Amino acid sequence: MKKIFIVLLICLISCTEVKPPEPYGPVPSERQLAWHEMEYYMFVHFTVNTFTDKEWGYGDEKESVFNPTGLDCSQWAKVAKDAGMKGIIITAKHHDGFCLWPSKFTEHSVKNSLWRDGKGNVLKELRKACDDYGLKMGVYLSPWDRNSGVYSTPEYLIYYRNQLRELLTDYGNIFEVWFDGANGGDGFYGGARETRRIDNKTYYDWPNTHQIVRELQPVAVMFSDAGPDVRWVGNERGMGSLTNWCLLNKDEMYPGGDFAAILGEGQENGNYWVPAEVDVSIRPGWFWHEKQDSQVRSPENLLELYYSSVGRNSNLLLNVPPDKRGLLHENDVKSLIAFKELRDKEFSNELAKGKKISASCTRGKEYNASNVNDGNPDTYWATKDNQTIADLVIDLGSQTEVNRILIQEYIKLGQRVQEYKAEAFVNGEWTKLIEGTTIGHKVIRKFPVVKTSKIRISISKSKACPVISNLELYRAPGN
């Protein structure tokens, strides 16, 4: 009798327990989830170009031109850390083919430079600096190589992959491998000094190169115009797209193809998770040029970039090029640190946490509205499977000034929301503050200061029941 009672009780409990929503569409891999958390990190463009005042080296530069007088990777790392960045991606090899590490497979590297008597290794120094400051490290290995005599033949792929193996074996954990899509044509090519064209679609045999990365650095994400893990945003102006799906039909694309128009928004019905990364430079050029010392982006401009990248469901990869000393220039450092201070002020006054919150519908008690402002990214508000229209109301308790909203979907279950809006309750009416399309990992939206006691977030279109993990409200300085 007792046994039957226990069985019945178990049945009853398991029947009333509400199941979490099923994932909808493509979902991020573990490595992509870790990448989403990175949000903001440094790009470092540094090579012979720093010394020859060029953006694209021809490939015939003498190794001796590379001679930084005071290279200090720990200065880069300290600045990155102080600026609130989480990692550094370095141009281990740019299009000129010069390697910042003593590769066994070429003479065109630091080993034939005067720097540290040819015994130096920028990557080794950067690894140590990243470790000292708790930063992740990534590498850019340009597929286009204007120095290599075998570029455009099958032999070059062996060379390229050997170099990739060196980078992925000798420098600890790499969080991102950056595959550039540029293939300009003319170059030194071992002395041939000619134009060499390749077929972007077939020449590099990308799937087999990707395999090497998976094998040697299983947690690294790979970036290119078309993924496989992270996609280019389609411009170098720092502009993420307001509508930004983390989805892409990447099989139809390849690095260097003409896809910029698609890459900004991604594809609503794309069949892979391939989120966007915004790469942009703090100066007009990617490499350091003395004449651009006065053209460093202002802290205010960097804050705008932050809103148009991290605030639009993208990561921000901000380039800060070292100068001829091998140091980040004072002007860049000043701007970066002031930007950090601006950002801290912008987001210092969070108003939603712990406030009373209600939802038009919920899935069950484990998925209550209060999960969105409990500070826990692992809990979320969800509705029943068929409820794709729903809203949340935050009761601020008293008349409060608000001008920013931050929303996050619980992306482990896919990207779902297609249309949303935020409103404030003012003079007895709901007044629209913003409307939008996608959310994804994170959106941060601005609106003019409003004084209100209640904010409503309505989801009016979603591919499946919405799953919202976080909601924050701010009163940022200014209007």
Q: Rule CB under 6 A: which residues touch ligand FUL?
A: 55, 180-182, 279, 286
Nearest-angstrom CA–CA distance, 186 and 42: 30
CA distances from 335 to 322, 339, 340 (A): 14, 6, 9
> What H or E segment, with its residue span, contains residue 117?
none
For residue 169, which phi and psi values (nearest 5 degrees)? -110, -35
Q: Select 63 or 96, whichever has its Cβ closest to ligand FUL.
A: 96
Q: Select 232 or 410, whichever has its Cβ closest to ligand FUL.
A: 232
Neighbours of 282 (CB within 10 A): 25
At 405, the amino acid letter reads I
Q: Select 91 or 469, whichever has its Cβ closest to ligand FUL.
A: 91
CB of 260 to ligand FUL, least distance (A): 12
Q: Select 273 or 286, whichever has its Cβ closest to ligand FUL.
A: 286
CB of 71 to ligand FUL, least distance (A): 20
Q: Select 253 or 443, whichever has its Cβ closest to ligand FUL.
A: 253
**Closest residue to ligand FUL: CB criterion:** 182
- Report the candidate in 372, 354, 385 with the shortest Cα–Cα distance to residue 457: 372
Residue carrying the six token digits 């969800």: 382
SS3 state of residue 306? helix
Q: Select 317 or 382, whichever has its Cβ closest to ligand FUL.
A: 317
Burial class (CB within 10 angstroms; exposed 0-12, middle 13-18, buried 19+) of 299:
middle
Q: Using N-to-C axis directions, what is the helix angle for 122-133 and 154-170, rounded to 10°?
A: 40
Alpha-carbon torsion, ordered 241, 242, 248, 253, to 10 deg: -20
Q: How far is the first Cα of the chain from the last one, in angstroms, to the nearest whole number?
A: 70
Alpha-helix residue ranges (DSSP H) falling in 186-236? 206-216
Q: Which residues pair with 140 in a beta bridge?
A: 91, 178
Q: Select 49 or 415, whichever has its Cβ closest to ligand FUL.
A: 49
CB of 283 to ligand FUL, least distance (A): 12
SS3 state of residue 68? coil
CB of 95 to ligand FUL, least distance (A): 6
CB of 280 to ligand FUL, least distance (A): 9
CB of 69 to ligand FUL, least distance (A): 24
Residue carrying the six token digits 């720092």: 238
> Do residues 280 and 317 make contact, with C-beta atoms less than 8 angstroms apart?
yes
Q: Select 182 or 192, whichever has its Cβ closest to ligand FUL.
A: 182
Report the relative pairing of strands 314-319 and 276-281 from DSSP bridges. parallel
Q: Which residues pair with 409 in a beta bridge?
A: 468
CB of 223 to ligand FUL, least distance (A): 10
CB of 39 to ligand FUL, least distance (A): 19
Q: Select 302 or 473, whichever has its Cβ closest to ligand FUL.
A: 302
CB of 40 to ligand FUL, least distance (A): 16
